[in-house]
Structure 1
Amino acid sequence: MSDAVIDDVTAGSWRIRPFAVADTEPVVALWRAAGLVVPWNDPYLDIERKLTVQPELFLVGESDGVLVATAMIGYDGHRGWVNYLAVDGSRRGEGLGARLMAEAERLLAERGCPKLNLQVRSTNAGVIAFYRSLGYRVDDVASLGKRLIPDAP
């Protein structure tokens, strides 16, 4: 993937690029600040795991050299997924999340992905409204999960 430089009306330029190992601490800090880290998911292990599967689909957004957004994207040959979409709280409302989602959609469509799924906590009305504004709808399904490898004791 080539770096995409996108004009940012509020602060010069903003760039989407693949994650680099040096981004680990800023990424984890962003995820923590965004409330995405939960006790049963170790963010460091999630990063480690992602780097073994489609690492080119782990994106970060930076503005003036500062990491301000992330998206962890995957495609299993049937559906695409986006996890850990996060934008720095001071930069929300500037369209960075929408731009990152557009890049995720582009990368998945390029791979022949017919549908993109994502999960949002049902209590997070603001994030659900954000995704609805991008054309997503709530699917009438129950999301089930089973932990195969525990991250925490």
Structure 2
Amino acid sequence: MRIRPFSVSDTEAVVTLWRAAGLTRPWNDPYRDIERKLTVQPELFLVAEEADAVVGTAMGGYDGHRGWLYYLAVAPDHRREGIGRALVAAVEERLLALGCPKLNLQVRADGEEALAFYRDLGYRVDEVASLGHRLIPDA
């Protein structure tokens, strides 16, 4: 398994993976999310590849105050192989190189498996409310 930057030729494999991993929602167009990411810090959009197949993804971002982790996904038939851990570590390494002091991420309220995964990596629930407001509708 190797981790490398996303390439436009990975688009279909990545969207298929995100759908298989349950990350997509009707109100978020994954193709638009990819297009948007490629305009801002595309070097923080990573894929894990095994035997020329995309088996994992992670999308990072840094706004000068804190980093963010999005779209961490591992193919269901490749889970528990260390791919997710390796992707998180790769994003953390790149954010540290940018001087990022803290990394945040969001997990859906029903994401107990994801919460357990992140807790195992040393992440803790911050006692904050996460708010959102859609500026550009995708649907």
TM-score w.r.t. length of structure 2: 0.99
Higher relative contact order, chain-length normalized (CA < 8 Å, sep 6+): 2
Name which of 14, 31, 37 aligns with 1:44: 31
Distance 2:48 2:98 in 1: 21
Which of structures 1 and 2 has the bigger CA Rg? 1
Amino acid paired to 1:43: P
The answer to whether structure 1 residue 26 and structure 2 residue 23 are counterparts is no
Name which of 107, 112, 115 aligns with 1:125: 112
Partner of 2:42: 55
Shift of 1:64: 1.2
Amino acid paired to 1:52: T
Distance 1:32 1:79 in 2: 28
Partner of 1:91: 78
Partner of 1:136: 123
Name which of 78, 86, 104 aligns with 2:91: 104
- Mind listing any 5+ residue stretches in structure 1 that lack a counterpart? 1-13
Q: What is the aligned length?
A: 139
Name which of 63, 68, 85 aligns with 1:81: 68
Secondary structure of the residue that 1:22 maps to in structure 2?
Answer: helix
Task: String of CA shifts for 1:43-95, please: whole Å, max 9, x gaps.
Answer: 00000000000011100000111110000110000010010000000000011
Dislocated runs of 4+, deviation >2 Å: none
- Mind listing any 5+ residue stretches in structure 2 that lack a counterpart? none
Identity of aligned residues (%): 68
The answer to whether structure 1 residue 15 and structure 2 residue 2 are counterparts is yes
Distance 2:43 2:29 in 1: 21
